[in-house]
Amino acid sequence: MQPPAPTPAAAVPPPLAPARSGSTVSTMRPDTPSPADHTTEAERLLRTAAQYPEDREPLLLQAAAHLELAGDRARAATLYDQLLNHPAPDSPHLIKALKAANLWEFGHEAEARAIIDGIRAAAPRTAQPWAVVAEALENHDELQQAHEAYTTALTLLVNPSDSEVPYATRPLLTGRHRVRRMLGKAHDSWDALADTVNPGPVPLDELHDPKRLWALGSSDPTELRAEIERLQAELGSYRAALSRPFPVALLHWPAGEYEELRATHPTLAAEYPPTHAEHLATVESSLRELASAGTLNLGVVTGSIPSYEAFAASEHTTPDSTSLLAEYATTLAARGRATFWPPSASAACWCGSEEAYRDCHGGAAAPTGG
């Protein structure tokens, strides 16, 4: 039996590969077209933050993202201030970067630049603040400063000799490549590394060619069709970058929880395979199917029976409702509980076995991520 269709609060993104039985998909991406929908989703996230104060920060960050997309930048700025005024935020540099990018978009350039200068001076050791800062500079045609920010971040965070490029740093590589093409700079070693992690069918040199815009004025249907394909690939990259904190997450149950779920909620048992090993294999295979269909931003959320039953009570419904599984997965992802997939080959497997991913569910044919 197929699992219940997800019931995300935001509209469902472009079609994904169908999830197999036992792997509930959660879509948490702020990419719905209607400002009213974004406002509604922001309100839902704010209510969830009040319900789960331990996960307040990721929920408010998502709410602020939706408010920005709804055009309510002033209210988004208020949420960023609330997070920064809270004692010891988990990601202060990221919050400041998002605040600066938001302020710049609605006319507070001087304040935004001051915040960006402070972040660059602090040299955070995580990729997300750098990506937000560099993209903000790039979006406002500060190409040389954007190039410097991308380069500084990569120098701090990436060892070019490592066999794997951390997933979170890949937008820095592709962003730097894009800016260098606009600046007319020659390929360097970072650009070559960017080429190796490009997940799309269109080479980065072609995707980031500044002269491409001239193709849009062509009357040749073949040229126009090729340019549309390039733009679709580029849009896919931007959507993936936008949605990165809001993963498409599959629900995984540890062994004990899995047996208890099947025993105490027989209605849900029909949604899952008979053994825990099959459940884990199904989650991995579903993740690979989604990845092969072009879904770059994947994750896993881990369920527990007490948490699930408490969630059902908070929703004023029964835990035996099959549609609740998707809502539960969505809420866990919104609360920042998703682990990105695939992990690096040497990292612990997502299933909790404590074995390296390559020796567990990664296997010889493990994907490299997007």
The phi, psi pair for 22, rounded to 5°, reads 90, 5
Averaged pLDDT, groups of 10, the chain, 370 residues long:
34 31 45 67 91 90 90 94 92 95 93 97 95 93 96 94 84 94 93 88 81 62 69 52 60 94 89 93 92 81 92 89 88 85 88 92 63
Query: Is the Cβ–Cβ distance between 10 and 30 less than 8 Å?
Result: yes
Strands 248-252, 25-26: parallel, antiparallel or unpaired by DSSP? Answer: antiparallel
Question: Where do the structural domains in the chain lie, given as residue ranges?
Answer: 248-359
Omega of the bond leading into 342 within 30 degrees of 0 (cis) = yes
**Could you give the strand order of the β-sheet that contains 339-341, starting from the edge strand earlier in sequence?**
25-26, 248-252, 298-302, 339-341
| CA distances for 178 relative to 100, 139, 195, 264, angstroms | 22, 12, 11, 53
Q: Which residue is listed with tokens 């710049």?
A: 104
pTM higher than 0.85, yes or no?
no
DSSP 228-266: HHHHHHHHHHHHHHHHTTS-EEEEE--HHHHHHHHHH-H
Residue 364 has what pLDDT? 61
Residue 29 has what pLDDT? 41
Helix (H) or strand (E) holding 301: strand 298-302
Residue 227 has what pLDDT? 66
147 vs 158: CA distance, rounded Å: 16
324 vs 45: CA distance, rounded Å: 17
Residue 225 has what pLDDT? 72
Residue 333 has what pLDDT? 86
Residue 73 has what pLDDT? 92
Query: Is the Cβ–Cβ distance between 179 and 150 less than 8 Å?
Result: yes
Residue 335 has what pLDDT? 84
